[in-house]
Chains A and B, each alone.
Chain A
Amino acid sequence: MALTGVEIFKLLPNTNCKKCGHPTCLAFAMKLAQRQASLDQCPDVSEEAKRILGEASAPPIRPVTFGVGDRALKMGEEMVLFRHEKKFVNPTVFAVEIKDTEPEEKINKTINDVLTSEIERVGQRLRIDAIFLNNASGDPQRFETLVKTVSSKAPQVPLILSTTNPQAAEAGLKVVADKRPILFGANKDNLEAMVSLAKTYKVPLGVTGNGLEEVSGLTEKIKSMGVEDIIIDSGAKSARQIIEHNTLIRRSALKKNFKPLGYPVINLCQREDQLLEALIGALGVMKYSSIVVLSSAEKWKNLVLFTLRQNIYTDPQVPMQVEQKIYKIGEPKPESPLLITTNFSLTYFIVSGEIENSKVPSRLAVMDCEGLSVLTAWAAGKFTAAKIAQFIKESGIENEISHRELIIPGYVAILSGAIEEKLPGWKVTVGPREANGIPAFLRQRMS
């Protein structure tokens, strides 16, 4: 089982040579205990230490990467069952399916949808991450053609080659193995051939089993044959099965240290009804899927799933922050109101949302307070009169507005005098304490 930082420290050379990039062996040991460092960073560790630490420090859910370059996708490494315990590590991968039985027009459309799927939210770029190529025809030639088409039109996008036919698999791998696709489709009937291909072409192997007992047996076989980067499909189809299987898999890996299920999980979430598909995909995001396969990449469906993934995978200890800036809400004129708040993303969304609901175009000055909410930022000395004054002065907003009135959140009314002192010529108005008071507050000023 996992060793503590101090136990690990006792196995290290204790020379503080800094070759690992950490200032002391103790600091390195602590990072190892947190799984935030890797033992091979230390050139002087003994063989004995490697053996003991190797076993103890392997993450319970194996990290598996596919794709290459800066579009490579990492899965696994999860440490908890509930996001409030500790942040979920590697966000669910969204993959859109293309079948080799589809007409060329549809194939091209899907490729295009994937390539144009990227949006930005709270400073993150979110997109459909991968393409799931389905050898629905069973024919190696057709599959090869599809693989060629997709990889030439979308060369950056990581791929999943889905086939149970080793000939088709090989045909596809010959085209794109250097892009490190997942070979998905190993099962109890084609195991040797598929494992051999995964070994030869050095790609991760996705295996399907009918239930968890069968899957466990298969992964053990695969590992004994020399392939360790495995992704598991337990055969779960319905929402009920997805919850059951994914929960039992994660519990087995984390609580029982059951290695045969310590791998990333792929869930096939395709549905005829697109809205239902969005809900099943959402379920995957919340309940431990490493890869969610979808049937199409509609923009509305993407937006919903990207946002949910962003929310669920937020680090509960680290607030999400928006950029420090003066935001325009609606079409503000020079005389429009100017409000100020902190850059905690939730604060920003709620306050800007209420300003929008008021239908009074305004400017919202959002100040970098390291993602803290108004009260917390004030208590921590990040939302102070001096800092607010400096932000307003340096923003250049004086050139854009015809007035000199700053509306501050009601909770920091105490700062009004000090702000006015540090911003000569400005008047400070105390706004409502709660964001939902903003619409009434702004509308009332208009009358």
Chain B
Amino acid sequence: MAYTAPKESYSGKVFEVTIGAERPVTFGGENCLPFHSFEGSIPHRPVIAYEIQDVPPDDWPETVKAVYNGVSNDPVSWARFCEEKLNAKAIALRLIGTHPDRENRSSEEARKVVSDVLSAIKVPLIILGSNHVEKDSEVLVACAEAAKDKNCIIGKAQEGNYKTITAAAMAHAHKLIAMSELDINLSKQLNILITQMGFPKERLITDPMCSALGYGIEYTYSVMERIRLAALTQNDQVMQPPMLGDVGTYVWKVKETQASEEELPQWGSLKERSIAWEAVTAVAMLMAGAELLIMRHPEAVQAVEKFIDELIE
């Protein structure tokens, strides 16, 4: 029996999304399953954005907080550090300080941070709310305006607040992250509702909600695989936006990135363990179809970039 390679081809493909103005980057655009370059084309490598915050990361575990000592007290110096020293291709500014249970900063304050950071960097900016559905509405509307003409990503629009956020993203020509909670059907529904408002599907990014390794990663993984299959095999246009893996914020909350080796000797070295926790979570997202990742630790980012090099050699 002779062997012939069972290659597959599909009727659909993933949309290409370009972000940024001065130093734009593009991701997405492939017409095959993740890294299946043997049977399709993958025009762009995934983009990894470094996460910074509008307030100092006092609650970040020491392993990753220490990397940014001296710069993370101010979002502008933090952003510059990522761009200049870490060679960031993009930066994700999470306005966690605006959360009502945290510092509860105002939209005005958030706006100012966004403007200041935009003035300081050349790479594209992703502007993220604090994941408080009501507050994000006001904050992201203000920030979308402050960032107009900079072709940013605004995120995240959810079922409870997508109308105002989508309108703002549309008005100021930004890209938009649509997030739903580990449910492929709700994800499709949200994308439909957003596009029904007139927002072009080619400017969307789908976030099915990331989970850390050991804390539900398989749910995210399978939802993403199914989304990608729907996009390719069913040519389901509303599922063809590229996908986001918002890795850092989920990973650095879990015990495995915080417990010391003294506490749990069978878990081994904390530093290597926590960096690996972030890197493996990120790689799982890539294998499931993420084209955009948001991460925190530079060593994890570098390892993932090396891995991507091997995937697209």
Residues of A within 8 A of B (CB): 82-84, 119, 121, 212-213, 216-217, 220, 238-240, 243-244, 247-248, 251-252, 255-256, 258-261, 273-276, 278-280, 282-283, 286-287, 298-304, 307-308, 310-312, 314, 316, 346, 349-350, 353, 356-357, 439-440
Contacts and interface: CB of A to CB of B under 8 A. Distances in A.
Interface stretch (B30-38, B69-77, B186-194, B202-210): B30-38
A126 to B, nearest CB: 11
A276 B273 contact: no
A13 to B, nearest CB: 35
Contacts of A256: 6
Contact of A252 (B3, B222, B303): B3
Given A259-B1, A308-B217, A311-B213, A298 B266 contact: no
Contacts of B312: 240
A379 B1 CA distance: 54
A304 B280 contact: yes
B218 interface: yes
Query: Interface residue tally of chain B, by bracket?
Result: 35 or more
A278 B268 contact: no
A243 B267 contact: no
Interface stretch (B106-114, B159-167, B249-257): B249-257
Contact of B279 (A82, A83, A279, A349): A279
Given A240-B37, A282-B284, A287-B287, A300 B215 contact: no
Given A240-B310, A286-B284, A303 B222 contact: no
Contact of A298 (B213, B221, B272): B272
Contacts of B268: 298-303
A217 B214 CA distance: 40
Given A314-B218, A440-B101, 8 more contacts: A82-B225, A83-B225, A212-B3, A275-B272, A282-B284, A299-B267, A303-B273, A311-B221
A312 B299 CA distance: 25
A440 B248 CA distance: 22
Interface in B240-299: 253-256, 265-269, 272-273, 275-277, 279-280, 283-284, 287, 299
B313 interface: yes
A83 B303 contact: no
B36 A247 contact: yes
Given A279-B279, A279-B303, A243 B311 contact: yes
Contacts of B304: 279
B306 interface: yes
A300 B272 contact: yes
Q: Which of B218, B279, B283, B304 has the most C-beta atoms of chain A within 10 angstroms of its own C-beta?
A: B218
A141 B296 CA distance: 50
